[in-house]
Each structure stands twice: as C-alpha cells, then as structure tokens.
Structure 1
C-alpha cells in the first residue's frame, strides 16, 4: 500500500493542481492533461483518489506541522523551540502576520478538499467497475470529512466548499460539524471493511464510523457517538496489539489495532521533502516528525513531553511493580525511581551515556514515540522517517466508547472498557472500583487513562477543550500548575487564528476571538 498509493499521488496531484486554475489559454497544449482530458478511465479515478491522501502527508499536514499543532497545546507536551511558529502554539501566543506553520496546514488541507471534490464530481461519470467506483467515491468522502474535521477542530468557523472552483463565505462551527458528519455518513456504505495488499492503509468502513463517532462525541451527542463506536467494535476486525510500542515504529504498520493511519515511506517516490508548492515527481514520502520531535543531539527537540506527563505515568505501578510500559514507549528520561531502567537504550547508545556530561539534558524528558531510536540510525538529522502516523487506534475507540457510557449513566459498562485498555499495560484490575464511581469521578479517571494511552498522539488538548476545562476556573488553574504555557491562555485562543492571507482574499472571513 505504501508504494502503490503514494507512488501515483504526486503525478496526479500536479495534474489536479494545474487543472484547478481558471486562466484561459489561446491554445491547447496536447502534451498537458487537464481535468477535462484526465477523468476518463478507472486508472484515472484511482490515481485521482490517491492524490486526495497525498496532501495530508505534506509539510503542513502529517509530515510535520499537523502533529505539532495537535500536540503542543496539551498539558502533556511543551515546546522550547526557537522557532516561534512552533513554541507560540503551546503558549497560545500565535500572531496573525506570520503565516508559517499553521497557515501551511490551513492551505494544504483546502488543497486536499479540492482534490476530494474533483473525485466526487468526476468519478461517478466514468465507465468502470462499480465496486471500485463506489469505493473510490467513499474514500473521497471520508478524506474530505477528515480534512474538514481538522479545519473545524483547529480553526472553528471556516468556508465549506463541496464543489470545485468556488469561494464561499465563512460557515458557523455548527455548519462545519454538520458537513463533517455528512461526509463520514456518505462514506460508510461505500467503503469496505478491510483491504488485502497492496491496498492496506486506505480508508475503511470502520475508520469512517470511528471518526463519525468522534465528531458526535466532540459535539456532546453521546447516544449517536456510542452507536458508532459500538458498530466499530462489533465489526470484529480490530484488536489491541499485545505490545503497545508496536503502534509507533516502522515495523508492524497497518496492524490489527490500526483503524486509520497515514502512510510514509523511505522508498516510495523521489528524494526531496514535500515542503510547499506544486507537487513534483522528485518529492519523496518521508515524515519529518522524528527530527522535529527528536531529543537533543539526535533531533531538533522542538517538542517535548512535560514533567507532568511523566508524573502521571508514575501514579500507578503495574501488577509486577514496574512503571507503566506505555511510558517506556513514549518518553526518554533518566529514571532514578524505577531502577530497572538504569541503562535506557537510545539509538546506538544509552540515555545515560548520551547525556553524562549534560546535567540539564539528563534531567529533562524527551519524545520516544514515533522516533527511530531502535534502528541503525545514529540520529534523526537526515529529516527522513518512514514511520506511519496512526490517527485512529482501536484503543481510542474503546476509551471513547467508555466515555459515552459514563455520560449515558452506564458506569459498569464504562469501567469494563477502561479496564480492557489497562489490561494491555498490565495495570491492576480496578473494574469493580471504577463501576462504583460517580459520573464526575469517572470523567477524571477517563482523563487520566487517555493521557497515559495517547500522550504524544495529538489528543490531549482536544480532550481538554471539549471537556470544558478551559472555561472552568478550577480546572484552568490546575492546568496552569501542570504546564506554565497555560498562563498565557486567553479565551478564544483554544482555536488557531485564521491565516491573514485567507482574510485578505476572502472579505467574508472574520478573525477568531482575541487575535
């Protein structure tokens, strides 16, 4: 899947980008394809749909900036990056003049939407195998829903074009979420439950149901969210990987726990990084997350776990008296409490040896999840990683389902699914204790469990925001005590600013509050 889907993404992306221009030419170049000449065959339809995935893995997407934007605002993550396009995200101090980073994300996600719109408009008219046709249209609906999910979640009120070559006014947030849900609903009946090689990694029915459930959950529709998550569970195709760490390396990708992940590769495409601009055949399909998040002397250390995150992992020992194994898969640190970690492997050395002469480094915490620390690489400085980005894991489905059960008053069912995730980490069985919790106590427990399971996966700030903690003075004070970056939070800055270029080009767009 990595090589097939990615291989054709660049070539067709160039055609789609050029075909979206409205300039009139006096003559037709017989050697240049346009949208009118391209959408003719089943191969065209497949290549065009592959291009819809490709924008998600460019620089503003999951190649680099989407994981930054989704991670650094949480109390589990901090940034001391000298590049303010990164560090000011976590401090809620982004300016609107500099379009770097978050602006790239905004622009590239709309490029992806444009590509999805072209598939949805053009593929139905192609004479081809109907099963393949339906699947491709379903993939485009799913991906458009996912692009809009990110845009509404990050930026709030945004335009919602559902056809090509249109400039639309700003929508309301409610309209945005309605579009997200409509796209996922449209995708579900068109998508298969599983794929065989070489198509593993494409959008599935389970992925569409899981993200539809997440959209419902983010809007407090617990009955509807619960039904979607239960449908994913009942598919019977997903399970937790026995080894938690198998979810974050280049080995064991597209595994039984993966509901949806973006495909990166060290061997597909060209050799250049996908920075910005018109796609080129020289672009490779690398992730730059590893170098960006990498520990000192191994990467740029633009993103780090907080001491709070480490302390959260230390709250409860495993059944055999050790630290939660999810901590060992997530954070590099010099542990003086858990003595079984006296020599922590780190690339081709150990944490202790690497920082023996650097006391400040020795006492800090660094990203281990999604890093190439186990392979032959001595560091991450070549900017290239082939590790897939897991957007939706089965454990997330289970914990979101548990959260719905709590909100619906089903404490025993909630406790069952919380403990199911805890069992993989070899944590004590507290199911019967949890079943006796009040709804408020269970909410706090879910907050704790989700931080342990998803640290460095971009979920924590979304959770904080949707739980209303930013508008609760007690909870906000608690967040400030855990992560000083919250001291500069202003109401409204839970959303990123709309890029100034978008406001300049579309007079109907208003800036978000307090920017």
Structure 2
C-alpha cells in the first residue's frame, strides 16, 4: 500500500512539525514538483488517498502503538515487563505520563493521518476528474478521517478539530492568536458524523482490499451513534448493514491470513508481508512482553470455539502469539490484516441498540445475540436466562468481550458503558475517572502554551 511514496508529496503532521520547529517548512514532492502541480489528475488523488490508508497502517496507529495503548489498557491483554524503561507497562498499570512514547506516537500518527485526509478533501472539489470518482475518493478520505477522530476523541476527549488543509504558518498564527484549541467532544462527534454520512452515501458496495465501502461507513457510523447513546439512529443505520455480510461457519477462518477480505470482514487495515515495508511487527507477542492474561482465558467456556483464538502458540521463529494473529514471518515482518469492523460486531451492536430502545422477551435482539453465540458453539439465550434489559445489557457486553477480544474494542466498550472502573477493579486495578483518558503529549502542551484553550487532561 506504500507504493505511492515514489510520487507522493512529503506531508508532515502539523503537530509533528511544531514539535521540532516553529519555522515554516516548504513541502515539496520527492520528484521536486510543487504540491500545486501534483494534485491534478485522478491518479494523483488516488495516490493521495492511498497515503490516508497508509497512515492507519503505520506503527503510530494500528501497526504497533494501539496494541500498547488501547489493548493493554483493558483487561484482555497485559504487559508484564518490570523494567523501568518500558512505557507500555505504564499504560497497563494506568501510570503513564504525558511523555509516554506510545501516547506521543499515537497522537502524532493521528494528526499525520488527519493532515493527509484534509489535503485530499480540501483540494479534490477543484480537480477536473470524473465526478463519481471524485466523490468516492473524497468519501474514502472522509471515512479515514472519521475513524482517526473517533479513536482520538475516545482516547483523549477534547482534541483539536482540524478539517481543512493548512500550512505551518497558518497553524503558528493560530497558536499566537490562541485559536488553536481542544475542541469540544460534541463538535468532534458532529464532524465525525458528517464525514461518515457523506462516506456512506458515496462509497461503493465493494472496493479494493483495505479500502472503505458504504457498509464500512454505515457500520462505523452505527458504532458512533451507539457510543453517543443515540440508540434509534444506531439501529436504523446498522439495520442497513445486516444481511449484506455473513458470519463464517468457522471462527478461526475469519482470521486466517490465507482468507483475507472474507465475507465477515467489513473493514480491515491491510498489510502484505511479501512486500518490503508493507507488513507489521508481531502483535501480542512474548518478545514485546504483551501477554494474554489468564483472566481472559478463564472467561471462555471450554467448548467455546473462540478460546483457541486467544490462546497462544509458538511459530517457527519462536514468536508466541494468540491464534487470532498467528502468522509466520516473511522479510522479517508479518502480514495479518487488522480487523477494524466485523459483521459479528454489527450484530452485537444492533442487539444492544434494540435492547436499549426497549427490551423485548425473545425478540430480534435475542436472535442477533444468539447468532454470534451459536457460531461459537454455545447455546442460545432465552428470556428465561435474560429476564430484563439490564441482564440483556450485561450479556451483550460479556459477549463482546469474548467475540472481539484483542481487537481494540474492549476498552472503548468499557468507556461507552460506564463500566471501566468496575471491570478494572476485578483484575486488581483501582482507577478513577481521571484515568479514563490518556494524557495530551507534553510537547504539545508546551508548544501551544494555552492553559485555558489547550489544557492538559486532569491528573497528568
């Protein structure tokens, strides 16, 4: 996916630039052509959109940082490195500082990705290319931007909302004028919803591997609405996805590296280990001290088909990793895609939304939940098992823990349902509301120097 680099303009995150210097850096392409000359043809914009997806691939986001942040923050992965030099173990214990390497990387990677998307979105309307292709490429950039902002607002709360291409000089002026601020959570969600609404209307039903579709945009929009507690809107958009995908008979086949882009995958960050620099390091492997805790393994029924996918085994090079992300190396890298949205996730979200709208004994919500359970080899729930809304709510959260383990959903599910403090206590961690957000990187706090408009999160 990084082949665009032979032509793509060197785009650096505003925030990354500011961390090094406040001086203006002229951006130019590797071929020395100006950026104004570059963004002309459909091929130019296709390459630029590829760069948006490439930001998701990077070690700053799905390639590495997220398994050290979002995964081990929850109770489905731990970092047992006792060395004082480790930074992931600090995240695991809710002891990270505002200089934590992985926090800084995720922030930087987020705004690099946002910057790339903004270039496409700001320039493509003026391009003389086919209108339908123009809308599709713009929609792809808006999907990626929405995904990045959705992760960011859940990780940091209020974040700078930058939706237009801007130069470093313009950003410097905003800093001087104190107008570069952390925008409200409500404003960030408004932008996310606008992006995904356009995306679901203009993306195709199918697309190349690793690229967004209308189903992906609708699924992500449903998750956004669910996170906001807007259950009616969540159910309405998710209902448009149900029936368009399917559960594989074998749970293990969903994650088989030889079975990518199967009918259960709605959107995944794509990797290719057979191309140089197109793969990733091993996720959840013993060499990085990231382990699967016994508490997660004990959560599964012995007959649950999903248990073997979180159990670990050793590959031929000595990497010990869970079945979901088991792979053999090629060119010193791994090639699993990372599943951001799966059909089972949609079924469980829809079940949750229906239950929140109104508990119905043995109704549609039960059917959706049971589809996921039955595929795992478990018996169906009835209203005799789950007698009211709260019991059904608890059952869905538990099922999501088992079904989506290690897929970066658990921590966000605990935040969304207000259960993070309680669930962390069950694994021996005492946390407060201040621990629910990550710190803003200290470098950004110091550069922007605006305590009222750009404050640090509490307790950091």
1:141 is aligned to: 142
Tell me the equivalent position of 1:88: 90
**TM-score normalised by structure 1 residue count:** 0.79
Shift of 1:34: 2.4
Residue 326 of structure 2 corresponds to residue 326 of structure 1: no
> Which stretch shifts more, 411-420 or 300-309?
300-309
* 1:79 and 2:21 correspond: no
Distance 1:289 1:498 in 2: 27
Correspondence 1:92-171 to 2 at 5 A: 92-96=94-98, 98-165=99-166, 166-167=170-171, 168-171=180-183
Change (3 A) 1:443 1:36: same
Q: How does 1:36-51 map to 2 (within 5 A)?
A: 36-51=36-51
- Structure 1 stretches of 5 or more lacking a match? 271-283, 318-322, 333-344, 355-364
Post-superposition Cα deviations, 1:257-281, rounded to whole Å, max 9, x if no partner, equal 011000111133x3xxxxxxxxxxx
- Would you say the 8 A contact 2:7–2:31 is kept in 1? no
SS in 2 for 1:429: coil
434, 442, 446: which one aligns with 1:500? 442
Shift of residue 384 of structure 1? 1.1
> Aligned with 2:11: secondary structure?
helix
Q: Tell me, what secondary structure is at the counterpart of 2:274?
A: strand
Contact 1:142 1:208 in 2 (8 A): yes
Match of 2:175 in 1: none
Among candidates 331, 339, 345, match of residue 390 of structure 1: 339
1:305 to 292, 297, 301: 292
SS of structure 2 residue aligned to 1:133: helix
2:262 maps to: 255
Corresponding residue number in structure 2 for 1:513: 458
Q: Secondary structure at the match of 2:204?
A: coil
1:286 and 2:279 aligned: yes
Deviation at 1:90, TM superposition (A): 1.5
**In 2, Cα distance between equivalents of 1:16 and 1:75:** 36
Q: Secondary structure at the match of 1:510?
A: coil
1:395-422 Cα shifts (integer Å, max 9, x gaps): 0000010001111114322111110111
Aligned residues: 435
Match in the other structure for 1:181: 193
Structure 2 unmatched ranges of 5 or more: 18-22, 172-179
Query: Paired residue for 1:223, among 213, 219, 232?
Result: 232
Q: Is 1:457 aligned to 2:407, yes or no?
A: yes
SS at match of 2:10: helix
* 2:369 aligns with one of 418, 432, 435: 418
Question: SS of the counterpart of 1:260?
Answer: strand
2:10 pairs, out of 12, 15, 21, with 15
Q: Confirm whether residue 241 of structure 1 aligns to residue 192 of structure 2.
A: no
Q: C-alpha distance in 1, partners of 2:203/2:107?
A: 27
Change (3 A) 1:31 1:177: closer
- Indicate if the aligned counterparts of 2:9 and 2:29 stay in contact, CA closer than 8 A: no
Does the CA contact (< 8 Å) of 1:264 and 1:388 recur in 2? yes
Aligned to 1:278: none
Q: Is the 8 A contact 1:214 1:225 kept in 2?
A: yes
Between the aligned partners of 2:63 and 2:223, the Cα distance in structure 1 is 23
Answer yes or no: is the 8 Å Cα contact 1:159–1:171 preserved in 2: yes
Q: Distance in 2 between matches of 1:286 and 1:24?
A: 30
* 1:476-495 mapped onto 2 (5 Å cutoff): 476=422, 479-481=424-426, 483-484=427-428, 486-487=429-430, 489-495=431-437
Q: Take 1:71 and 1:433, find their aligned partners in 2: how far apart are those partners?
A: 34
Measure, in 2, the Cα distance between the counterparts of 1:76 and 1:30: 43
Cα deviation 1:62-89 (Å, max 9, x = unaligned): 1111132111111222211345311111
* CA distance in 2: counterparts of 1:29 and 1:470, whole angstroms: 46
- Note if contact 1:303-1:367 (Cα within 8 Å) is conserved in structure 2: no
TM-score by length of 2: 0.88
User: Cα offset for 1:463?
Assistant: 1.1
- For residue 210 of structure 1, what is the aligned residue in structure 2? 219
1:50/1:30 CA distance change after superposition, 3 Å: closer
- Indicate if the aligned counterparts of 1:249 and 1:388 stay in contact, CA closer than 8 A: no
